[in-house]
Amino acid sequence: MLDVKFLRENLEEVEKRLKTRGGAVDLSGFRELDSRRRKLLTEAEALRARRNAVSEEVGRLKREKKDASHLVAEMQEEGAKLKALETEATGVDEELNKFLLEVPNVPHTSVPVGNDSTDNPVIREWGERPDFKFSPLEHTDVGEALGILDFERAGKISGARFSLLMGAGALLERALINFMLDLHTREHGYTEVLPPFMVKSAALQGTGQLPKFREDLFKVEGSDHFLIPTAEVPVTNIYYDEIIDEERLPISYAAYTPCFRSEAGSYGKDVKGLIRQHQFEKVELVKFSHPDSSYDQLERLTANAEEVLKRLGLAYRVVTLCTGDMGFASAKTYDLEVWLPGQGKYREISSCSNFEDFQARRANIRFRPKGGKPRFVHTLNGSGLAVGRTLVAILENYQQEDGSVVVPGALRPYMGGLEKIVKKS
């Protein structure tokens, strides 16, 4: 959510910059709503001030055993006026709030202007793409041939966009989770968190998924619970409505969770394989930062996610999302894209964002500067990494001509020393 005062004072500039995100941005209603709200507030406050003064006078008269009935009668009338005014003010307030909750974050000045993913500049590349002496298969073919991936049977159980990992496939997934968590907690200074996998709507509003993106979520029937679309939601909301001691910043958390997404509107996209699922596993990195250093923290967080790919020996590139491709709540986002030889493309495997105070304002997460008033923190997060897609990358990059898959060295300690996944006879 944007700061009302900031919006009031910079409306034209904000509108101009939000337009670069593409889509419909209409802030024209703001001025009217804001001034109506302020006018009603002033009127109601004046009435309340009078009521408070008169009530005090009534109390004084009663204590002195004097008659106060004329004042009481007067206030009974005034009370009705005040109530009407308050009802109207509450209405306008709700309208303004509803409006503000749907306004996206303002892109940082360093974000390139562009329309879509084709305008995202590549800022660095790492690693060698493997050179195959044969035509590399997609991960679905590799996995199904090895008997470690089963989409048919997953379909019987849960329908489309679900998967079944068997044997070495399930072990590989578990190894990746443990490897990533160990790397971030032991070497990058993150504290491990295992949060709830269901959250209430207030938490989703805090991080920005609600109210605008309800259709992307799975909701539990008959209660105010949603399945988390990412660990960002429960982990960022750990400090919902809290004031954090300044000395504790930055706070860095790493969390493994499954993620659940309805993928509404993505029909026909990535229908095959593990790339786009209703349920997938992810290790997420979340930071709470002092506003002065949040962009340094974004660089560090991104580097921490990249380290996973480096240790696994997977070629990747880093792109800066242009204004038209950024998420709703983000001020700046880097995507990590891993090379998938089976598809012959780079595919997103991590998305690292600085939300500045956009989420902190919604979730009321503040810190107290030395001797000063509480200020909003900056929140950041990034995948470190999407586990399912990492498994895809391993199957495609480490596949052998005989159909086996070599286990990257970094993962072998997590797989009982297994060096190669082969078909079980």
Partner RNA sequence: GGAGGGUUAGGCUAAUGGUAAGUCACCGGUCUUGAAAACCGGCGGGCUAACGCCCUUGGGGGUUCGAGUCCCUCACCCUCCGCCA
- The C-alpha atoms of residue 282 and residue 255 are separated, in whole angstroms, by 8
User: Is there binding between residue 374 and RNA (CB under 7 A)?
Assistant: yes
Among 16, 26, 90, 115, binds RNA (CB under 7 A): 90
Among 25, 33, 72, 410, binds RNA (CB under 7 A): 72
Q: How far is the CB of 6 from RNA (least distance, A)?
A: 11
Closer residue to RNA in complex, CB, 186/368: 368
Contact 204, 210 (CB under 8 A): yes
User: Is there binding between residue 5 and RNA (CB under 7 A)?
Assistant: yes
Among 76, 118, 135, 425, binds RNA (CB under 7 A): 76
- Closest by alpha carbon to 213, among 257, 265, 259, 258? 265
- Closest by alpha carbon to 201, among 240, 165, 150, 258? 240
Among 11, 22, 43, 55, binds RNA (CB under 7 A): 55
Residues with catalytic function: 261, 276, 348, 351, 389
- The C-alpha atoms of residue 93 and residue 243 are separated, in whole angstroms, by 25
**Given the rule CB under 7 A, which of 45-53, 303-311, 321-329, 345-353 is the region that contacts RNA?**
45-53
CA angle 117, 120, 123 (to 5 degrees): 145
User: Is there binding between residue 191 and RNA (CB under 7 A)?
Assistant: no
Closer residue to RNA in complex, CB, 90/191: 90
* Contact positions with RNA (CB under 7 A) in 241-300: 243
> DSSP secondary-structure letter at 322?
P
Q: What is the dihedral sign for C-alpha 206, 376, 327, 115?
A: positive
User: Is there binding between residue 70 and RNA (CB under 7 A)?
Assistant: no
Among 9, 13, 32, 56, binds RNA (CB under 7 A): 56
Paired tokens of 180? 């990533």
Q: How far is the CB of 106 from RNA (least distance, A)?
A: 19
CB-based burial of residue 78 (10 Å sphere; 0-12 exposed, 13-18 middle, 19+ buried)?
A: middle
- The C-alpha atoms of residue 257 and residue 230 are separated, in whole angstroms, by 7
* Backbone angles phi and psi of 154, in degrees to 5: -60, -35
User: Is there binding between residue 91 and RNA (CB under 7 A)?
Assistant: no
Three-state SS at 163: coil
- Closest by alpha carbon to 382, among 289, 263, 312? 289
Q: How far is the CB of 44 from RNA (least distance, A)?
A: 7
Among 9, 13, 26, 45, binds RNA (CB under 7 A): 45
Residues that bind RNA (CB under 7 A): 5, 38, 41-42, 44-46, 48-49, 51-56, 58-59, 62, 71-72, 75-76, 79, 90, 243, 370-371, 373-374
